[in-house]
Structure 1
Amino acid sequence: MTPDTALALIGFAFVMSISPGPGNFLLLASGANFGFRRTFPTVLGISLGFLSMVFLVGIGLGEVLDRFPAVTLALKIACGAYVLWLALKIGRSRALGPSAPDRIEKPVTFVQAALFQLVNPKAWAVALILTVSYTSEADYLASLVAMIAVFAVVNIPSISVWAISGTALRGVLAKGNRIAAFNVAMAVLLVGSMLPVLLRG
């Protein structure tokens, strides 16, 4: 990878990682409800799940899904149901604190966050752009791995900003019914950001 390509990739990775999307809304909500330390496994799950998707798309997953549309449909339905269930859990949470009866019990796990990327339309779009734009045909596999490594270095700190921002809001949201309104807003944004993939086709 040339220095110019690496610099362009770093810029692209930063913009795509820091911009709003389903995963970042989830991290914002998790940071607000659980704090950064408990949300960090979710950060890693979202990042490594996405990077695994990039690798699988790079070695041909996209072509497989194109050839078997029934698999794609089943995956979309299963993941769509999970997103709606997750949004319902977030939206119904009304309080902060371990003893609060109407709070989310625990953050999204590492594995759940990684699997969440399967129904994230932003993740699919970015994965396809990366594998087409930042790999070299002459040494494809090595360039794919190098590209994933560079993206990871930028992605993890960038998406962590959303979890940190949620954590910073905890003091404000703990007053009155603010956390309830915040969680409803996060649930609506989560579902809204998923509609393109859930309704397409």
Structure 2
Amino acid sequence: MPLDTLLTFIATTMFISATPGPNMLLMLSHGARFGWRATLATMAGALSGLALLIGLSALGLAAVLAASTTLFTILKLAGAAYLLYLGWQCWQAGVELNLPTAFGETGLARYRTGLAVALSNPKAILFASAFLPQFIQPALPQGQQWAVLLVTFFLIESGWQLAYAVGGVSLARWLSAPRRVRFFNRSCGIAFWAVGGMLALARR
């Protein structure tokens, strides 16, 4: 793969991954609630979900979603509903933050949450099918190029998820007063509702 193509991919992916979305918002929330080490399980779930979506894209599901308005709408609304549910959970949390002294959830539960959030957006499949192939050079070996792109993508995505989780830990130090905890929980709830609403209204 030409160096200029790889550098363009890195710069673009750095920007896209850094943009706050469901996955990054979840890392921030879990980082504040459980600490960054416990949030590694959430990260593993989210990265597994992204790997599954990219795999489905490679198998041709992206073409099916692009052709079937009904299927895309069903998956989109299901994902939006899950994000709205997470928003409601955050809103209902009130002044309880559940900091690392008592995790309150198992690692498996956090993994499942990360996986579910990553899978909640069917547009990620279309994104993978439309974005990644742009950096593939047809005249060069395909397998090596895909390997480089995917390894680079997951390294960048993992780095940003960890950064958001660590940011959540720093944020937790500020959450020393109940009113601040309530503000944080409800802000996360509103953010999840906003992302869920945008997903529900989004077109292919």
Please indicate the TM-score interval, normalised by the length of the shorter structure: 0.7 to 0.9
CA deviation after TM superposition for structure 1 residue 110, in Å: 1.9
Asked if residue 182 in structure 1 is aligned to residue 181 in structure 2, the reply is: no
Asked if residue 199 in structure 1 is aligned to residue 193 in structure 2, the reply is: no
Q: 2:165 aligns to what?
A: 163
Paired with 2:104 and 2:68, the residues of 1 have a C-alpha distance of 38
Give a deviation string over 1:111-162, Cα, whole Å, max 9, x none. 3322322333774564244323122334444422321111112210122111
Paired with 2:15 and 2:3, the residues of 1 have a C-alpha distance of 19
Q: 2:2 aligns to what?
A: 2
Segment of structure 1 superposing worse, 105-114 or 160-169: 105-114
CA deviation after TM superposition for structure 1 residue 24, in Å: 1.0
Paired with 1:55 and 1:144, the residues of 2 have a C-alpha distance of 12
Q: TM-score, normalised by structure 1?
A: 0.84
Percent of aligned pairs sharing the same letter: 25
Q: 1:134 aligns to what?
A: 135
The unaligned stretches of length 5 or more in structure 1 are none
Q: 2:150 aligns to what?
A: 148
Paired with 2:155 and 2:59, the residues of 1 have a C-alpha distance of 21
Q: TM-score, normalised by structure 2?
A: 0.83
The unaligned stretches of length 5 or more in structure 2 are none
Paired with 1:122 and 1:20, the residues of 2 have a C-alpha distance of 16
CA deviation after TM superposition for structure 1 residue 105, in Å: 4.2
Structure 1 segment 31-180 matched on structure 2, within 5 A: 31-93=31-93, 94-97=95-98, 105-106=104-105, 109-120=110-121, 123-124=124-125, 126-138=127-139, 139-180=141-182
Give a deviation string over 1:37-94, Cα, whole Å, max 9, x none. 1111112222332233233223422101123333222222322221111111112112
Asked if residue 25 in structure 1 is aligned to residue 25 in structure 2, the reply is: yes
**Which residue identity does 1:76 align to in structure 2?**
K
**Which residue identity does 1:106 align to in structure 2?**
E
**Which residue identity does 1:127 align to in structure 2?**
A
